[in-house]
Structure 1
Amino acid sequence: MTRRPTDPAADRRTVLRTTGGLAALSLAGCLGEGGTNDGATGTGGDGDDDSGVPPDDGADVEYAVERVAEGFENPWGLAFLPDDGRLLVTERPGRLSLVDPADGTRATVDGVPAVHAAGQGGLLDVAVHPEFPEDARVYLTYAGTDDEGRSATHVGSGRLSLDAEGGAPALEGFEPIRVARPFAGSDQHFGSRATFGPEGALFVTVGDRRDTEFGPEHVSQDLSNELGATLRLTPDGDAHPDNPFVDEPEAADAIYSYGHRNPQAMTVRPETGALWQCEHGERDGDEINVVERGGNYGWPIASEACRYGTDERVAPSHRERGDVVAPVHYWPCGSGGFPPSGGVFYQGDAFPAWRGGLFAGTLAAEYLGRFTVEGTGTDAAVTERDPLLADRGWRVRALATEPATGHLYVAVDDADAPVVRIVPA
């Protein structure tokens, strides 16, 4: 069943154009007083502009912004139901809604677990089993606590019933299927993006829980725990049997990659099946990574960031070490950064000029980033293009592409926030 918008009211629709002038003004504001890119974003970080990336062919695209639904409290995750057209939206305090994009109506989904809504914790991402509705499982990531009040990133699943008793949708038989241990006293850096890969494995990001003991003993460099890592799981929550460290007795067998700080965007590139992530740095140092099996992404023994409140580097650059995987794109210390959340490779029909490009939201910089990608793997050349939504003052939290239309959906992070869609003007 496909639902299409029926009320593109003029007062809820603003036509914009991705022009260089708007982008230059917006990006300068994000970088801060006197801030520049210094030519240091991108693949090389050496100031050269000889990557061979062709001129941008998606800049001159007119688009409009429509409000789909409003009144969400810090929405965090978006997922469309295949062959249905409706949209699942999580809210960090602990609510899950089923939204009809045609008219903005929404119903609260029953059966959601109790969550630890403190700091950066709460109800976080949502993913739908790739064989839905034959397999009706819906997956949630969330912060939960142990008996001592310490928190951890949880993954759970339940079967979505759209015809539950009383007419309300419900998650039936919901239960946690993986807890990223150890529990920690911090309420920060849960990571918590969840994405199914092309072969049906469930990938989940887990942050470093704000461990500030920088050095080789940091939790992100310790394979015996599941913090600061990408986990690869079966749909039942077990460690995937082909994970890189399953035969190492002292290693956590769910780990797929490690050395991460706090990845809050994750998506699969359709052309290659590769897993891509956007990750928070400390002071700047935000990264875009192509995630490889068994890869060490460096945090905190390699980083492009500085320590908070200083110009002191956290660690040597990735390119000064031969034992870590370097980002394909980064924002160096002093650039103003790109604190990321939510990402998607665009493959829709609504904007042909954007096909194959990466979209990623940024929180503090308050815009929707667009990137063109040339090449594959960790050698890919990534170029940031003119930003979208740069005049709204919106912290962009989550993204999704509507399957039937190719419209790009955006969840805004605020206490009273909308979910909007980007459509052709």
Structure 2
Amino acid sequence: MLETDDSDGDDDLAVEEVADGFEHPWSLSVVPDDGRLLVTEREGALSVLDPDDGDVEDVDGVPDVYAEGQGGLLDAAFHPDFPDEPWLYLTYATANGDGESTTALGRGELDLESGSLEGLEELYAVEPFLDATDHYGSRVVFGEDGAVYVTVGDRGSKEFGPDHYSQDTSTAIGSTLRLEPDGSIPDDNPFLDDDDVLDELYSYGHRNAQGMTIHPETDELWQSEHGEEDGDMLRIVEEGANHGWPVVHYGCEYGTDDPVGDEFDDRDDVVDPVYYWECNSGGFPPAGMTFYDGDAFEEWEGDLFVGNLAGEYLGRFTVDGTDVEEVDPLLEGQGWRIRDVVTHPETGVLYVAVDDADAPIVRLTPE
């Protein structure tokens, strides 16, 4: 067992590797009414991990994925009424016959007894497919309204300016999607009356949101989003709004101090992030995120946890409305790129996925 202390010294934090040998795990989910962890691996594997004994069972029937660059099997989300509604939703990169790829959403019925995903169907694939392997976005969550929300990255486009994909509302590239559980368009989506915007869009102007969660008290949709050179952000996503990328941004072009776009203060037609890292700050390349609402760490109730990839730590943020402050870097010094984090609803402990070719799943408990 590895041990560390939280940075303010109030309580000891026990760190334990529950299981290892995962190949670039991308998401962690707690199986409802079961307590085990569902793990996706970018190379295309799906498995169920028993956190009590470290036993790992593979799940068959996953989609064929395009595991190049940042692509592969990415996020997973259970239907809110699972297991009565046994649907498991997956996001992944998929390719066409020309070697071009895109972000896709699929679902199948998860049979835990047989260890299989049955009747897999693709619900949505972003158009157009592109000859690029970056910025798929791909977080998926269910809102309190029962809708499915999916982040779509900008696919690494460097066409900065108003003609960028993320500002082109005739495509879902660089957006947040809002869909019904069967993949159809909700009849109250924000752009239904605008012929210039896809009906499935909930928001646009995003670069690459790789974290998304629902605030447990306000039901707000929060995202963590990668910036260019720094410019990383934490957002409360607003329905029907332009979130700025790349016409407005806090970061700079890579290798320069040249700003990308305008400053947010200069525009009143875009949504400001609630927290950001400006150019030359060192940034915070963010991944999965969760609000803590368990009993194991009472002092953390309501705090936001976000994985830091390049910085190799788990960030803790206090949140009061839109006032956000980073307070504790956890797991520093382990050399772990933190890809995802989840609170176990039964025990209140945190589980963390480390992004590496031979990676552990880690449990954090009070010592």
Give per-residue Cα distances to partners, 1:305-347, cap 9 Å, x unaligned.
0000001101121122111000100000000000000000000
Q: CA RMSD in A?
A: 0.9
Larger radius of gyration: 1
Q: Report matched runs for 1:223-302 at 5 Å.
A: 223-302=169-248
Q: Structure 1 stretches of 5 or more lacking a match?
A: 1-11, 21-58
Q: Report the CA distance between 1:199 and its aligned residue.
A: 1.6
- Separation of aligned partners in 2, 1:117 and 1:242: 35
- Asked if 1 retains the 8 angstrom alpha-carbon contact of 2:136 and 2:208, the reply is yes
Structure-2 residue corresponding to 1:94: 44
Structure-2 residue corresponding to 1:5: none
SS in 2 for 1:385: strand
- Separation of aligned partners in 1, 2:249 and 2:196: 26
Structure-2 residue corresponding to 1:337: 283
1:162 equivalent among 112, 115, 119? 112
Q: Report matched runs for 1:6-405 at 5 Å.
A: 12-14=1-3, 16-20=4-8, 60-164=10-114, 169-375=115-321, 380-405=322-347
- Separation of aligned partners in 2, 1:74 and 1:151: 20
Q: Report the CA distance between 1:68 and its aligned residue.
A: 1.1
- Separation of aligned partners in 2, 1:337 and 1:240: 36
Kindly report structure 1 stretches of 4+ aligned residues shifted beyond 6 Å: none
Q: Structure 2 stretches of 5 or more lacking a match?
A: none
Amino acid at match of 2:191: F
Structure-2 residue corresponding to 1:31: none
> Given the two structures, how large is their TM-score scaled by the length of structure 1?
0.85
1:407 equivalent among 324, 349, 358? 349
Amino acid at match of 2:315: G
- Separation of aligned partners in 1, 2:145 and 2:274: 24
Structure-2 residue corresponding to 1:423: 365
- Separation of aligned partners in 2, 1:416 and 1:240: 41
Amino acid at match of 2:92: Y
Give per-residue Cα distances to partners, 1:87-123, cap 9 Å, x unaligned.
1100000000011111010111000011000000000
Give per-residue Cα distances to partners, 1:157-214, cap 9 Å, x unaligned.
00001222xxxx0000011111111111110000000111112111100000111111
- Separation of aligned partners in 1, 2:313 and 2:340: 12
SS in 1 for 2:141: strand
- Asked if 1 retains the 8 angstrom alpha-carbon contact of 2:7 and 2:330, the reply is no
How many residues align? The count is 367
- Separation of aligned partners in 1, 2:241 and 2:301: 28
- Asked if 1 retains the 8 angstrom alpha-carbon contact of 2:225 and 2:233, the reply is yes
- Separation of aligned partners in 1, 2:157 and 2:192: 25
Q: Report the CA distance between 1:132 and its aligned residue.
A: 0.5
Richer in strand (by share): 2
Amino acid at match of 1:122: G
- Separation of aligned partners in 2, 1:244 and 1:424: 44
> Given the two structures, how large is their TM-score scaled by the length of structure 2?
0.98
Amino acid at match of 1:71: G
Q: Report the CA distance between 1:67 and its aligned residue.
A: 1.1
Q: Report the CA distance between 1:13 and its aligned residue.
A: 3.8
SS in 1 for 2:166: helix
Structure-2 residue corresponding to 1:36: none
Structure-2 residue corresponding to 1:46: none
Amino acid at match of 1:125: D
SS in 2 for 1:138: strand
